[in-house]
Amino acid sequence: MSKSLDRLTLLATFARIAERGSISGAANDLGMAQASASRQLAALEQQLGVQLIQRTTHSLALTEAGAAALVEARALLDGWDALVERFIEDERELSGGLKIVVPVALGQLYLADAVLRFQAAHPKVSITWLLDDAPIRFAEIGCDLWIKAGKPDDDTLVVHEIGRVERLVVAAPKLTDGLQISHPSKLSALPCAALGPFEGAAISLSGPKGTRALIEAQVAVGTNNIFSAYQAAIMGIGYAVMPRWFVESDLASGRLVDVLPAWRAATLTITASFLPAARQKRRLRALLDHMKHAIVQIPGIQATTDPRT
């Protein structure tokens, strides 16, 4: 084994320890003894001349130097993967691992099927599928692709816009029964199930000919979880701003109604983000193309005009 490969092995072990927050967990993942993983971490720290991980009795935490080293380690490991893929004998066959983070609802209801179809078509690609609505520390968790609603607050990432989400005001029929709601101002008298990350108590809508209106919502239920806001709307507790893809079947069945057909909340952009060094991975490029196609097949999500896609 060459010295350069030894160093890559040390970096890979360090990255897995940082990801798992545990030397024993990383050792299990890598198929080695815990003592071996500890020795590799110590060897890397000795070569770099810094402490990378602060060890306590019950936990591990990256030092400041460790956090910086992890970003560089991920870039080097991604670069090595891309180089290997470039020279594999059979370029039609994809292999290796991919870790993808997606929004909980979108990932559970639609995109899980898409990624499983991708894996079935490329059985040598190992998929780690994580559902998370919260911001992530991209390099620390070893993520390859992050799909989210909105642009990530991280200028180290390559960000592609891959779809735009139509959002509308919906309610159970019993909530609006007998009311003539021709303008957003009429909603001020009704309770609202507010999805906190996006609107909260102030809901901006766009209407005919570019007109705009701001609703000062009477929040009966406030939540950061789309399933909870949806359930409150279904039960008639309040109206809610929902993406069309989430409520399409309920609108068709009449469980929910489009309260203001001529008015819409601001569209949300679906983005796909990855580290610059990962862009050369063939398996990542193939997955990204697959997910772009899958996203725009979802009801209420339109293709983006982002030239990078």
> Does residue 197 sit in helix, strand or coil?
coil
d(CA 163, CA 88): 33
d(CA 254, CA 2): 66
In this structure, the answer to whether residues 259 and 293 fall within a common structural domain is: no
d(CA 3, CA 102): 37
Q: Is residue 64 situated within a structural domain?
A: yes
pLDDT for 88 equals 64
In this structure, the answer to whether residues 274 and 158 fall within a common structural domain is: yes
102, 82, 101: which is closest to 141 by C-alpha? 101
pLDDT for 70 equals 85
Q: Look up the CATH number of the domain holding residue 222.
A: 3.40.190.290
- Domain residue limits at 247: 165-268
Cβ-based neighbour number of residue 97 at 10 Å: 12
In this structure, the answer to whether residues 181 and 202 fall within a common structural domain is: yes
pLDDT for 2 equals 46
Residue 132 makes CB contacts below 8 A (sequence gap 6+) with 101, 102, 103, 104
In this structure, the answer to whether residues 184 and 146 fall within a common structural domain is: no
Q: Is residue 120 situated within a structural domain?
A: yes
In this structure, the answer to whether residues 52 and 102 fall within a common structural domain is: no
In tens digits, the chain (309 residues) has pLDDT values of 445 448 888 888 888 888 788 888 888 878 888 888 888 888 888 888 899 888 776 778 888 888 888 888 877 887 777 777 666 655 667 888 899 999 999 999 999 999 999 999 999 999 999 999 888 877 667 788 999 998 888 888 899 999 999 999 999 999 988 787 889 998 988 999 999 877 778 899 999 988 999 988 999 999 989 999 999 999 999 999 999 999 999 999 999 999 999 999 999 999 999 887 666 688 898 999 999 999 999 999 998 865 555
User: H/E element holding 23?
Assistant: helix 23-30
Q: Is residue 91 situated within a structural domain?
A: no
Q: Is residue 127 situated within a structural domain?
A: yes
Q: Is residue 140 situated within a structural domain?
A: yes
Whole-prediction pTM: 0.74
In this structure, the answer to whether residues 243 and 282 fall within a common structural domain is: no
In this structure, the answer to whether residues 296 and 202 fall within a common structural domain is: no
271, 281, 270, 308: which is closest to 74 by C-alpha? 281
